[in-house]
Amino acid sequence: MKKIDFYILTQFLKNFILLLVFLTLISLIVDIFENLNKFIDNESPREVYLYYYYYSLPSMLLLSLPISCLVASVFTFGIMTQNKEWLVLKSSGWSLYRLIAPMLSLGIFISLFSFYLENNIVIPSNILKEQIKEQAISKTVKKNSDIENIYFLKNEDFLISIEFFNMKENQIFSMNQLNLNSNVVLERIDAKNASWIEENKWNISNYSIRKFDKEGLEFSTIISESDSLIQLQFSLDDILSVGEISSEMTYKNLKKQISFLESNGINAKRWKVDLEYKIAYAFICFILVFCGIPISVYRSNTSLTQGIGISLGIVLSYIILLKLGQSLAYAGVLSPFIGVWLSNFIFLLLGIYLMLSARK
C-alpha cells in the first residue's frame, strides 16, 4: 500500500471513529433522558437499566454507521481540499479515481461489518433489551401500536400467519391458519378480516375453510363472505407476545421461514421485502462513502460546512426514498428487490454522476 493510500485511510478512519462514537453517545444520551426516569419511577435496580443500556449500544452503533461513513468521507477530502493537498496530488498525476479506490474497499468492508453486526449482535441484543424494558418499565406488552408481518407456530401443529393486526380494535387483516400433521396440511383457514371476541373465539369474514385427507387431497370446502363466529387455535395474547417477529430474525432464519411459508402456500411477500431490506441497508455505508467523496471536490468554492449540510440532506433523502420503496414493495406496486433497492440504485447513480463531474 502506498503512503498516500495509508494517509487517506488513516485520516478517514480517525474522522469515522470520532463521528461514530459521538453519534452513538448522542443516541445514548437521548435514550437516557427518555427512559431513565421510567426505570427510577418503577424502582428498578441499578443493574437492570445498566444492562438495558448495555444491550442498546449495538443498535445505536448500527444506526450511526451510515451517516458516520458519509460525513467522514466529506471531512477527509474536504480538509484535503482546503489544505491544498488535493491540488498537490492532482498536479503530481494522482487521479480522483485512483485516490478513492482504498476508501471504496473500506466502504465495502464496513457494509459487510454492518450486515454481520445486525445479524449476530444487534438482533439478539435488541431482544434482550426489549425484555428488560417490558419487565422493568411497561410491565405489559405494548398496546398502542399496530403489528405487521406476524408468523408463529402454536402447539407445533398450527401455523399462523397474520399480515396486519390493529391493536386498538383487536382486528386482523389477512390471516391464514394451517393445521399440520407431519408437515401435511389437514385444514386451512383463510380470512381477510377477523375480530377478537374472547379467548380463542374470533369473528371472521370473507373466509374459506378447506380440509384435506392424509394424501393432501381436498375433500371439503366452505367459502363465505358473511360473518361467522369461529374458534381458532390462537388468542389475542399469542399475537401480542409474538409482535413484529421479522425484525427480530436474522437473515438466515428469515430466509428459512420464507421457504417454509411458501411451501405451505402462504403469501410471503412482506417477509421477502424484509429479507431484501436486511441486505440493502447494509450496503448504505458503501454507497454513502461513494457519494460523499466527490461532494468535497465537486466545486472549488464548496466549503466544508456546505459539504456537511449537503451530506445531511443526502442522508435524509436516502431514508425517505428507502421507506417509500419499502412501502411500495409491501403494497405490491414494486417487487421486493426493486422496492427496497430503489434508493440504493438512485444514489449509486448520483454518486457516479458526481464522480464523473468532479474536478479530477
Burial label for 260, CB within 10 Å (0-12, 13-18, 19+), is: middle
pLDDT-derived band at 141, boundaries 50, 70, 90: very low
Q: Where are the beta strands (DSSP E) in the chain?
A: 147-154, 158-166, 171-181, 184-198, 201-212, 218-224, 228-231
Predicted pLDDT of residue 213: 86
Q: Which of 156, 172, 330 shows the shortest CA–CA distance to 240?
A: 172
Is the pLDDT at 21 greater than 90? The verdict is yes
Structure confidence at residue 17 (pLDDT): 94
Mean pLDDT of 255-277: 79
Of 331, 300, 326, 296, nearest in space to 310 by CA: 296
Amino acid letter at 189? Answer: I
The pairing of strands 218-224 and 201-212 is antiparallel
Q: Which amino acid is at 57?
A: L
- How many angstroms separate the most distant Cα atoms in the chain? 81
Tens of pLDDT, residues 156-213 = 788 888 888 888 888 999 999 998 887 788 899 999 999 998 888 999 999 999 999 8
Cα–Cα distance for residue pair 150/161, rounded to 1 Å: 6
- Tell how far CA 153 is from the center of its chain: 24
pLDDT of residue 24: 94
pLDDT of residue 47: 83
pLDDT band at 142 (very low <50, low <70, confident <90, very high): very low
127 falls in which pLDDT band (50, 70, 90)? confident
pLDDT at 203: 92
Question: CA dihedral defined by 146, 152, 157, 158, rounded to 10 degrees?
Answer: 30
> What's the pLDDT tens digit per position in 76-116?
887 877 777 777 777 777 777 777 888 888 999 999 999 99
Task: Give the residue with greater pLDDT, 146 vs 144.
Answer: 146
Find out whether 96 and 294 touch, Cβ atoms under 8 Å.
Answer: yes
CB atoms inside a 10 Å sphere around CB 325 = 26
> Residue 300: what pLDDT?
52
- What percent of the chain clears pLDDT 70, i.e. is strictly above it? 89
Cα 103–107–109 angle (5° rounding)? 115
Domain spans in the chain, listed from the N-terminal domain onward = 3-139+277-357, 156-232
Q: pLDDT higher for 154 or 61?
A: 61
Residue 273 contacts residue 336 (beta carbons within 8 Å): yes
Q: What pLDDT, on the 0 to 100 scale, is given for residue 215?
A: 79
The C-alpha cell at 38 is 421510567
Percentage above 90 pLDDT, the chain: 22
Measure the CA angle with vertex 331, ends 327 and 334; round to 5°.
80
Distance separating alpha carbons of residues 22 and 290, to the nearest angstrom: 22
DSSP 229: E
Residue 221 has pLDDT above 60, yes or no: yes
Average pLDDT, the chain: 83
Residue 318: pLDDT over 50: yes
Which of residues 34 and 18 earns the better pLDDT score? 18
pTM for the predicted model, two decimal places: 0.72
Q: Which residues of 50-63 are buried (b: 16+ CB within 10 A; e: fewer)?
A: eebbebbbbbbbbe
How distant, in Å, are the alpha carbons of 259, 326, 330, 339 from that of 333? 22, 10, 8, 8
29-74 confidence digits (pLDDT tens): 988 888 778 777 777 788 887 888 899 999 999 999 998 988 888 8
What are the pLDDT digits (tens) for 273-285? 888 999 998 898 9
